[in-house]
Amino acid sequence: MFLNNTSNPEDKLDSLPVTVLKGVGPRVAERLKRLNIQTVQDVLFHLPLRYEDRTRVVPMGSVRAGEHVVVQGEIELAEIKFGRRRSLLVRISDGTGSLTLRFFHFNKQQQTGLQRGHGIRCFGEVRAGPVTLEMVHPEYQLVEPDAVLAAADHLTPIYPATEGVHQLTLRALTEQALHYLDRGGLVDWLPPALVSDFKMTSLPAALRYVHRPPPDASLELFASGHHPAQQRLAFEELLAHHLSLKRLRERVLHTSAPVLQDDALLVNRFIGQLPFALTGAQQRVIDEIIHDLLQPHPMARLVQGDVGSGKTVVAACAALTAVAAGYQVALMAPTELLAEQHFRSFSEWLAPLDISIAWHAGKTRGTARASALSAIADGTAQVAIGTHALFQQEVEFARLGLVIIDEQHRFGVHQRLALRDKGRDDALRPHQLVMTATPIPRTLAMTVYADLDTSIIDELPPGRQPVKTVAISQARREDVMASVRKACSAGQQAYWVCTLIEESEVLQCQAAENTATLLAETLPELTVGLIHGRLKPADKERLMAAFKAGSIDLLVATTVIEVGVDVPNATLMIIENPERLGLAQLHQLRGRVGRGRAHSSCVLLYQSPLSANARDRLAALRETGDGFEIARRDLELRGPGEVLGTRQTGEMQFHIADLLRDEALLSDVEQAAGRLNQLAPGNVSPLIRRWLGETALLGEV
């Protein structure tokens, strides 16, 4: 172990309860738990979210909405307004301009203090009010009108807070914790060799700096997160995440899985009967998977492939390998529509090979449900396809050998772990293959998916045409309808996708219904179909079959068709109000066209005016069809949390690191992880615990 100024083991801050700090009794301690603060070390690693510059007073005439500033002036008017909500309005000015302070909660004492003629200094966020610029509930202090006050002497840290634990408390606690830090007792889990090789600031210095930046610290540098103190901590945090996922991976490798030995006859027969040749990339990824399946340890492999790169065929080859070896396969998709689509493709492909497939989704009821469950339980079903319902308690597999999850980014690490447990009974864990159509930049994948090996299908089937993408304003809706008419009269098919912000599925479906009715009226010569999430599975199936067979020209849909739907003759897609969707989702939607050999187009029928961000998103989509490039831009525009999906964010909350900003650190992080494992393997667990908490260590298989 590499201790840092350690004197007495009792002083170790990771075992010193937070209750040693002044002001922390049982009640506060209970509240601090909500912030994951239990020890003095936890207080030190509860890092500021941002900083406020209270080091200088700003003239009111120069403040703008959105800024956090200190202003000082004289009260000109104080009055109580009885509007929708009773509020106390206080008008202040400093000769350069004026501002209104607005209080919804105030007591008698405050009211008497805030009198015309009194001097006041306040700090808060400036907002555009109904008449003037305002500050709502600023922090304030009454002062002599012309007082010259010492401003704060460092940037003020703003901490993540919780009910009953406010900024002032957190500032007082960190102040005390910093005294403990100065006295030693915080272990640096990075060996000195690592710290010096990566030229890092010392840990105590970095912590002190971010909690109490000195007066000369630049707010801009701090806001950008590139200060060496911040970078040192971000590095350590990323390292802790990386190590915890790597460790997860290692644990999995220490469990056993069935060796899926197979003479490849079935897979070769299947490939031979396909109407196309596999791309080189598909072949390579299939080989990687088959190699994994031959190991006595569970595969944990992520296949990334852009929309339309042909992941389903790859999944089928993996499934056939398991089936030929005498094991069952579970294939799970995030939506029923996508699962149905897989069920159809697999039924078509595998029927000639005499393989029996069961369907199981949440909505399956009655005898269909019972017979699916019994076929899965007694092993007559060799492949089970469905939604996450497949992984509920009542589903028991006879011999589960392989789990395939499509559209992985919607499932988090812990869900992946739960799936592995399905094969737990006989001590053999199933192999796991996850497929995602949202390409994740390599560096990001390295951190977020470090528990998985990755394969990339980096080649599209030959003959694919790029989808021509245009953005057209709703004002030109008529023109767009005319182009739908033209394409469909020429024998092609089109999608019309309705997006809505309403949360309610009912409202979404209603809106899609209205659009479908309108389109049918305007384009009477076309057969218009409507598909949405509230249709019965059988009806959806019928509609999709009709669309695939070409008996529907124009399919009006909600975003349920986002993933997986495959109709090569559809060459035109209209997306209404694309400004409401994220870039990745738009890319997914657009991927429904451009699947055949004909030229395809996508019309982004937007509602003006567009926000700057929406304009950037639509521009990115027009400019490129490359999923990786789109993922990169998406990351820039929305940040990693959004890109990886909300479920993932829940698990990937960082104190200080930012996957996008700190991308440059990631390759060093990977190296450092290897070195730490060599130099001081015993330091890995405490480092993970420090940054991710106890649960990160418990959640391991």
Give the binding site for ligand ADP (CB under 6 A). Answer: 276, 278-279, 282, 305, 307-313, 437, 461, 566, 568, 595
Q: Name the minimum Å distance from CB 667 to Mg ion.
A: 30
- Pick 338 or 666: Cβ nearer Mg ion: 338
Instruction: Please list, in sequence order, all residues whose beta carbon lies within 8 angstroms of the beta carbon of residue 123, skipping any fewer than 6 positions away.
Output: 52, 54, 68, 69, 70, 71, 138, 139, 140
- Pick 564 or 625: Cβ nearer Mg ion: 564
276 contact choice in ligand ADP, Mg ion, none (CB below 5 to 8 Å, kind-dependent): ligand ADP
Instruction: Count CA atoms within 13 Å of residue 141 on its CB side.
Output: 7
Q: Name the minimum Å distance from CB 285 to ligand ADP.
A: 11
- Distance set, CA 67 to CA 63, 70, 99, 159 (Å): 7, 10, 13, 18
Asked whether position 578 contacts Mg ion by CB under 5 A, the answer is no
207 exposed, middle or buried (CB, 10 Å; 0-12, 13-18, 19+)?
buried
408 contact choice in ligand ADP, Mg ion, none (CB below 5 to 8 Å, kind-dependent): none
Instruction: Count CA atoms within 13 Å of residue 549 on its CB side.
Output: 9
- Pick 280 or 362: Cβ nearer ligand ADP: 280
3-state SS class at 17:
strand
What is the distance between the alpha carbons of residues 433 and 426, in angstroms, rounded to a whole number?
A: 20
582 contact choice in Mg ion, ligand ADP, none (CB below 5 to 8 Å, kind-dependent): none
* Beta pairing class for 133-136 and 98-103: parallel
Q: Name the minimum Å distance from CB 616 to ligand ADP.
A: 25
Q: Name the minimum Å distance from CB 460 to ligand ADP.
A: 9
- Pick 70 or 331: Cβ nearer Mg ion: 331
- Pick 508 or 588: Cβ nearer Mg ion: 588
72 contact choice in Mg ion, ligand ADP, none (CB below 5 to 8 Å, kind-dependent): none
Put the strands of the sheet holding 453-457 in their side by side order.
Answer: 357-360, 383-386, 328-332, 400-406, 431-436, 300-305, 453-457
Q: Name the minimum Å distance from CB 407 to ligand ADP.
A: 9
Asked whether position 564 contacts Mg ion by CB under 5 A, the answer is yes
Q: Name the minimum Å distance from CB 570 to ligand ADP.
A: 11
Instruction: Please list, in sequence order, all residues whose beta carbon lies within 8 angstroms of the beta carbon of residue 311, skipping any fewer than 6 positions away.
Output: 303, 305, 406, 435, 437, 457
| Tokens, residue 517 | 């009715």
- Pick 437 or 484: Cβ nearer ligand ADP: 437
- Distance set, CA 375 to CA 155, 360, 413, 421, 625 (Å): 65, 11, 29, 20, 43
- Pick 104 or 276: Cβ nearer ligand ADP: 276
Asked whether position 334 contacts Mg ion by CB under 5 A, the answer is no
3-state SS class at 428:
strand
Question: Which range binds Mg ion by CB under 5 A, 444-452, 524-532, 557-565, 648-656?
Answer: 557-565
Cα–Cα nearest to 48, from 151, 141, 184, 155 = 155
| Tokens, residue 315 | 């999944």
298 contact choice in ligand ADP, Mg ion, none (CB below 5 to 8 Å, kind-dependent): none
| Tokens, residue 296 | 């006595």
- Pick 310 or 441: Cβ nearer ligand ADP: 310
3-state SS class at 44:
helix
Q: Name the minimum Å distance from CB 587 to Mg ion.
A: 13
305 contact choice in ligand ADP, Mg ion, none (CB below 5 to 8 Å, kind-dependent): ligand ADP
Subset of residues 212 to 251 that bind Mg ion, contact rule: CB under 5 A: none
Instruction: Output DSSP code: residue 418.
Output: H
| Tokens, residue 124 | 């808060």
566 contact choice in ligand ADP, Mg ion, none (CB below 5 to 8 Å, kind-dependent): ligand ADP
Task: Tell me the site size for Mg ion, rule CB under 5 A.
Answer: 1
Q: Name the minimum Å distance from CB 188 to Mg ion.
A: 46
Cα–Cα nearest to 34, from 21, 49, 18 = 18
Instruction: Please list, in sequence order, all residues whose beta carbon lies within 8 angstroms of the beta carbon of residue 698, skipping any fewer than 6 positions away.
Output: none
Q: Name the minimum Å distance from CB 599 to ligand ADP.
A: 17
Residue with tokens 């090789």: 197
- Pick 450 or 584: Cβ nearer Mg ion: 584
307 contact choice in ligand ADP, Mg ion, none (CB below 5 to 8 Å, kind-dependent): ligand ADP
Asked whether position 529 contacts Mg ion by CB under 5 A, the answer is no
- Pick 213 or 305: Cβ nearer ligand ADP: 305
Residue with tokens 């009640």: 27
| Tokens, residue 578 | 């694309």
Q: Name the minimum Å distance from CB 398 to Mg ion.
A: 27
461 contact choice in Mg ion, ligand ADP, none (CB below 5 to 8 Å, kind-dependent): ligand ADP
Residue with tokens 């305007």: 522
| Tokens, residue 54 | 């209270």
Asked whether position 439 contacts Mg ion by CB under 5 A, the answer is no
119 exposed, middle or buried (CB, 10 Å; 0-12, 13-18, 19+)?
middle
Q: Name the minimum Å distance from CB 127 to ligand ADP.
A: 45
364 contact choice in Mg ion, ligand ADP, none (CB below 5 to 8 Å, kind-dependent): none
Cα–Cα nearest to 625, from 488, 474, 465 = 465
What is the distance between the alpha carbons of residues 508 and 557, in angstroms, rounded to a whole number?
A: 10
Q: How far is CA 581 from the centre of its chain?
A: 15
Amino acid at 5: N
Contact indicator for 390, 421 with CB cutoff of 8 Å: no
With CB atoms as reference, the residue minimizing the distance to ligand ADP is 310
595 contact choice in ligand ADP, Mg ion, none (CB below 5 to 8 Å, kind-dependent): ligand ADP
- Pick 191 or 564: Cβ nearer Mg ion: 564
Q: Name the minimum Å distance from CB 453 to Mg ion.
A: 20
- Pick 312 or 515: Cβ nearer ligand ADP: 312
- Pick 345 or 624: Cβ nearer ligand ADP: 345
Q: Name the minimum Å distance from CB 105 to ligand ADP.
A: 54
The residues of the shown chain that bind Mg ion, judged by CB under 5 A, are 564
